[in-house]
Amino acid sequence: MTLALAIASPDTLPRLPVMGVNLVDATAAQVIDTLLTPGHRARVAFMNAHCSNVAAGDRAYGDALASADMVLPDGIGIELAARFRGQRLTENLNGTDFVPALLERAARRGQSVFLLGGRTGVAEGAALGLCRRIPGLRIAGTRDGFDGMADEDAAIDQINASGADILLVALGVPFQDSWLARNEARLAPRLTMGVGALFDFLAGRVARAPERVRKARCEWIWRLAIEPRRMARRYVMGNPRFLARAGLSALAGIDRRSVLQRGLDLAVAGGTLLALSPLLAVVALAVRADSAGPVFFRQTRIGKDGTPFTMFKFRSMAQDAEASRAAIEAMSDREGICFKARQDPRVTRVGRLLRRWSIDELPQLINVLRGEMSVVGPRPALPKEVAAYPARALGRLAVKPGLTGIWQVSGRAEIGFDQMIDMDLAYIRSRSMGLNLMLLALTARAVVSGRGAY
C-alpha cells in the first residue's frame, strides 16, 4: 500500500546546524503555525543530548534525523552545544510542553490524533490524560507500542483507517524515528512525530518536574533523584560524552580569524574599561547633573546576521529625544537613509562634548564584552534603517558591528550612505588582524581631530 504524498507548503523556518543536524531555530508558536498549515505534510523529530549520542552510533537513526522535515531542539545540552559554536537557539522546544501546545491548537481546528507506542495501556492512559487536559481534542485511536507493533501492517492499517491528522509515536529512541522514516510513504496522517517517553508523562506513570525546577533549568538533577538507574545512564555517563563531542565539533568548525578577532575584542574592551573607569565615573556624574534622565541611553540595533541587540551609550540627548525625532528628520545633513544633524536641538550641553570626543560611545565596550559587537566593524544600524536597506547593503550584517571602522576614521557623518556601504563591504572582504590594528590606531587620530563628530 503506497499513499500519494500531499504537496507540502514551503517551510521557511530558519535552521541552525548543531552536531551535524539542522535544528529548527524558531519559537514554539511559529513551528506550530507551520505544522498546522493546511496541506502541510511533515515528519518531525526531537533531538536532545541522548538522541545525539545514539545517532552517533546508529546510522539508520542518524539518517532518519537527517531526512526529517523538522528536528526540534529539546534540552539544555543542545543549547550548550550551540553556544560552544557562538550560536544561540531561539527557543528550547521541550516535547512535554510543545506537544500539548500543538494538540491544543489542533483541537481548536477540529483535527484528530492517533497515539501509538508504550507498554500495554500506556497509549490509552495518555489519551485519557490529553482529553482531560485539552477539552474538545479528538482521539482517532490508540495502539500499544511493543506488543501492538508485532504486526506492522496491521498497525499501519489501523492508523490509516482512523483518519487521524496527527500521529504521535512513543517507541523510544532510536526505534520510533527510524520506524517513521521507513514507513513514511505508507502512513496517511499528514503530521507524524516521534515523542519518546511523552506518553508515560501524559498517563501519569512518570512524574513531571515541578514548574520551578523546569524554570531553573535543572530538571535532569531532579529526575536523577527519582529515576536513578535510567538517568544515571543518560546523564551522568551520557552528558560528559555528549559535551565532549559537542566541544570537538565546535573546535573543528572554529574560524581562526574569528578567534583572533574575539581575542582582540576582549583585550581592547576589557583593558579600556579598566583604564578609563575613573573617567567613566566622572562622565556619568556629568550626564546626570546636566539634564534629567538616565545616565545610559539604550537602543535596539541590528547585529550580525540581522540579530537585534540592546546597544549602550552615554546619554547625550534630552530624555524625550526618540519621541521628537520624527519632527526633525528633515534637518538631516547626511545623504541616504541614516539620520544625522549637525544642529540637532535634542543634544545636551554635556552631550555635545561627549560627541566631539566620541566619549558617548565608550559604554559600547560592554556590548563588545558581551559578544554583540566587535571593536572594529560596520556601525550597528537601527531596525528602521535595515528595513529600508537595498539588497547590497545587507552585506554589512555578515559580521559583528563595531565601535570603529573604515568610515569612522574617514570622516564619519560627512560620509554619505552609499559610500559608507562601499567602505564596509570592502572591510568585510579584506578584514584581518593587521587591518584591525591599523584602524584602531587611526581611530585615535580621528577622535583627536573630531572630523565628522557631531
Q: In the chain, what are the domain boundaries? A: 15-250, 257-449
Burial class for 436, CB neighbours closer than 10 Å (0-12, 13-18, 19+): buried
Give the mean pLDDT of 161-171. Answer: 96
Give the mean pLDDT of 246-262. Answer: 67
Q: What is the reported pLDDT for 68? A: 95
CA angle (372 as vertex; 370, 377 as ends), nearest 5: 125
- pTM as predicted: 0.55
Q: What is the reported pLDDT for 317? A: 87
**Residue 209 predicted with pLDDT over 60:** no
pLDDT band with cut points at 50, 70 and 90 for residue 327:
low
Gyration radius of the chain over CA positions = 28
Say which range, 162-166, 253-257, 258-262, 395-399, has the weakest mean pLDDT: 253-257
Percentage of residues of the chain with pLDDT beyond 70: 79
Give the mean pLDDT of 194-208. Answer: 83
Peptide bond into 210 cis (omega under 30): no
pLDDT band with cut points at 50, 70 and 90 for residue 4:
very low
**Residue 109 predicted with pLDDT over 90:** yes
